[in-house]
A and B are shown apart, each in its own frame.
Chain A
C-alpha cells in the first residue's frame, strides 16, 4: 500500500458533516497558496488556490480561508463524502518557482 501517509495527523469525519483541515505556513512573504488532494497511489490534485490579497475563496463544496496575521490557512469541505477521503496538504509560494509544501493531513470519512 501507499506509505506516504503513515505518519500524518488524521481527521475522521462522519459522512455528510463538514470538514476543516488546517495548515500553518512558514513564510510571511508568501503571497499565493494552494490546497492539494492526494488519493492513495496517485499524484496530488489541485483543489483551490488563494492569493494574499484575499482572505476567503469559495469553490464547489470547498472554501479556503487565509489569516495572514497568524500565517494560517484552512480548507473547509462541506457535506463530506466518501470520495473526499485522501491526504490534503497546503502549498505556499513567494512569487518564485519554489513551492513550499506542508506534510499533510489524512481525512477519513466514516460511513
Chain B
C-alpha cells in the first residue's frame, strides 16, 4: 500500500512563528504536492514538486515556501505564520505518468493563534 505520512496531525502555532510541515512518501513517486483545504473552497494547490530540488508554484503560494532535498520528502514552510493560514494541510504524491491518482496523507490541522 502507498503510504504518505505527514509528521503532525494537529499543530498550534503563534502568529509570526516559522512553521515546518513535513511529508514523506514510500512509493518512489516523482510528484509531490501541498494543498490546503478550507470549508467551501475545496482543495487548493500551494506548491508542487516533480523532482528533487524542483518546485512549481500552485494557485496560492503566497506566504509559503517548500523544500525537496530528497525524493521521498517534501516540506512546507510558513515563513511567518498568520491567522489566515489556519487550515487543514494535505500532502499528496503521484507517479509522473499522466492520468494517475494522487495519494494523500492524513492531513495536518494547523491553528495559528
B24 at the interface (CB under 8 A from A): no
Tell whether, in the assembled complex, residue A43 and residue B39 are in contact, meaning their CB atoms are under 8 Å apart.
no
Contact residues of B between 39 and 61, Cβ < 8 Å to A: 39-43, 45, 48, 50, 56
Tell whether, in the assembled complex, residue B107 and residue A42 are in contact, meaning their CB atoms are under 8 Å apart.
yes
B74 at the interface (CB under 8 A from A): no
- Given A6-B39, A43-B90: A95 in contact with B106 (beta carbons within 8 A): no
What residue of chain B has the Cβ atom nearest to residue A104's Cβ?
A: B42
Tell whether, in the assembled complex, residue A43 and residue B4 are in contact, meaning their CB atoms are under 8 Å apart.
yes
What residue of chain A has the Cβ atom nearest to residue B102's Cβ?
A: A99
- Chain A 34-74, CB-CB to B under 8 Å as 1, else 0, gives 10100001111110010100000000000000000000000
- Given A5-B39, A97-B50: A43 in contact with B106 (beta carbons within 8 A): yes
Residues of chain B within 8 A of A7, CB atoms compared: 39-40
User: Residue A103 contacts which of B4, B41, B101, B103 (CB distance < 8 angstroms)?
Assistant: B41
Residues of chain A within 8 A of B7, CB atoms compared: none
What residue of chain A has the Cβ atom nearest to residue B40's Cβ?
A: A7
A31 at the interface (CB under 8 A from B): yes
Count of A-B residue pairs with CB < 8 Å = 63
- C-alpha spacing A93/B90, complex, angstroms: 18
| Most A-side CB within 10 Å, residue of B4, B9, B42, B103 | B42
Tell whether, in the assembled complex, residue A97 and residue B42 are in contact, meaning their CB atoms are under 8 Å apart.
no
Tell whether, in the assembled complex, residue B102 and residue A51 are in contact, meaning their CB atoms are under 8 Å apart.
no
Residues of chain A within 8 A of B41, CB atoms compared: 103
List 18 contacting pairs A-B, 8 Å CB cutoff, sorted by A.
Answer: A4-B37, A5-B39, A7-B40, A8-B39, A32-B99, A36-B104, A42-B107, A43-B90, A44-B43, A45-B104, A46-B101, A46-B103, A51-B99, A89-B42, A95-B98, A95-B99, A97-B50, A103-B41
- Closest CB pairs A-B (n = 5): A43-B104, A32-B99, A7-B40, A101-B43, A103-B42
Binding site for A on B (CB under 8 A): 4, 6, 9, 31, 33, 37-43, 45, 48, 50, 56, 88, 90, 98-99, 101-107
